[in-house]
Amino acid sequence: MRRSRRTKILATLGPSSSDPSTIEALFRAGADVFRINMSHTDHAGMRGLVTAIRTVEDAVGRPIGILADLQGPKLRLGVFSNGKIELEEGDLFHLDSDSAPGDGGRVQLPHPEILEALQPGHRLLIDDGRVKLTVEEMTSNGVSARVDVGGTISDRKGVSVPDTTLALSAMTEKDRRDLDAALEAKVDWVALSFIQRPDDLAEVRKIARGRVGVMAKIEKPQAIERLEDIIELSDALMVARGDLGVEMPVEKVPGLQKRITRAARKAGKPVVVATQMLESMITAPTPTRAEVSDVATAVFEGADAVMLSAESAAGKYPIEAVTTMDRIAYEVERDDHYMSIIAGQRSAPEATGADAIAAAARQIAETLNLSAIVCYTSSGATALRVARERPSAPLVVVSPVRTTARRLALAWGLHCVVSPDARDVDDMVDRACSVAFAEKFARPGQRLLTIAGSPFGTPGATNLLRVAYVSDDGRGGT
């Protein structure tokens, strides 16, 4: 089953899309990777979804990626004696460590790490920024803050502190339990929420030990400040525009989206653009024109994947949302300007053998107008370096490792096939041509290019490039 686009679609599963028939319909509509939100899914539910996805994978004969999205630390207010209060602009409001129910003048902030880190001038955003406070002074057991934007706040509303770096791990105890369960279920990716610094990735990498790809969600100003270091320690990134737009001025988010997308591509790591892409399709069967343009912008930027959240998880039209996103990506990628824009964002190759081979493969394929580039990989590294080049020729990945093929389902343009590794160069050429022929990327008489590492099966040894003809029987010849 071959996709007609390069940009991948990441669909979140939930109440509207948790049964096997709907999951298969979502895949056939265009979903390449499925997201399980651990904020709303228990371990039994997660295992059930993984089983359902793997059943669909067997039915369609294509590797399907699974992402477990960890909740991360949730910072919330305490409770009020009357359940809620109204704050007016200019009021002084106190946040402290006292566990007594709050009133119109104060409430508990049950996070000592926040109270210890706040300083005068720091902002507190409550309920996704609907109410905004600025710290005026420190008190004996908390802070006194001025109300800049008033409104109603109620029990346990969320709190964001965009100006404050917290001595707080991005991994909570719940996240550690969820990570263990996700590893046991053999998901392909885990996403880490609310990271502030590269060190936040270290714990999950230590636990995962390479068994799963680690995706860093960029949603805090502190992560933007350390973006290069975070990219270096992650396997993929997500532009989590929802929380990023709460903690930073919303007008800065489009520019940050471009910055993160291009930085990830330069590093050769997949990047997902997420949040509110087709938000109106939660309740409507068609998107707004602005939403269509938003998805198109991410595709033009060369994002590896675009993501649906509530649209596919809890909306009325999950399959229509995936179908719409598929159509948008398809049309954008056929626009006369698409490949020139993608080429204009290309970075110079790194001074490594793999990058040199990947850049050469793109140039040769485009110069000779080859039908496809076939990439052999065990770890997935070679395929990601070729995808980084964004070639105009289709990219076919042949891997003997099913987990690698599933993980690569997230990356731009990669059509993954699980197959035994080649025995020698001649076998490599024959297998490449047979796969390309069977998957309808090449016809007899056409040429393709094959990339591999010798000796075969050795990760990180990309050093071989071969042009081959597809013979009448679908096999190869140089």
Residue among 175, 141, 151, 145 nearest 163 (CA)? 145
- Portion of the chain with pLDDT greater than 90, in percent: 87
Q: pLDDT tens digits for 216-258?
A: 999 999 999 999 999 999 999 999 999 999 989 999 999 999 9
DSSP state of 2: -
Dihedral, 344, 335, 7, 356 alpha carbons, nearest 10: -30
Q: Where are the beta strands (DSSP E) in 141-287?
A: 142-149, 151-154, 159-160, 189-192, 213-218, 236-240, 271-274
CB 269 within 8 A of CB 261: no
Q: How confident is the model at residue 322 (pLDDT cuts 50, 70, 90)?
A: very high
pLDDT digits (tens, 9 = 90+) for 49-102: 999 999 999 999 999 999 999 999 989 999 999 999 999 999 999 999 999 999
How far is the C-alpha of 76 from the C-alpha of 74, rounded, in Å? 6
Which pLDDT score is estimated for 368? 96
Residue 458: its pLDDT value, please? 65
Question: Using 50, 70 and 90 to split pLDDT, how confident is the model at 36?
Answer: very high
Which of helix, strand or coil describes residue 327? helix
CA-based torsion, 206, 208, 209, 215: positive or negative: negative
Radius of gyration of the chain (CA): 24
Tokens standing for residue 144: 């006194």
Count how many Cα atoms sit within 13 Å of the Cα of residue 260 in the half-sphere of its side chain. 33
Query: Which residues have a catalytic role annotated?
Result: 35, 76, 217, 275
List of E strands, 390-457: 395-399, 414-418, 447-453
Q: What's the pTM value of the predicted model, to 2 decimals?
A: 0.93
Task: At 171, list the tokens.
Answer: 């991994």
Nearest-angstrom CA–CA distance, 182 and 272: 20
Domains and CATH numbers, the chain: 8-72+169-341 (3.20.20.60), 84-160 (2.40.33.10), 348-477 (3.40.1380.20)
The predicted-structure confidence for 160-196, as pLDDT tens digits, reads as follows 999 998 888 889 999 999 999 999 999 999 999 999 9
Rounded Cα distance, 92 and 147, in Å: 6
pLDDT at 430 over 70: yes
Model confidence at 478: pLDDT above 60: no
The gap from C-alpha 12 to its chain's centroid, in whole angstroms, comes to 11
Q: What is the largest CA-CA distance in the chain?
A: 83
Output the pLDDT for position 359: 94
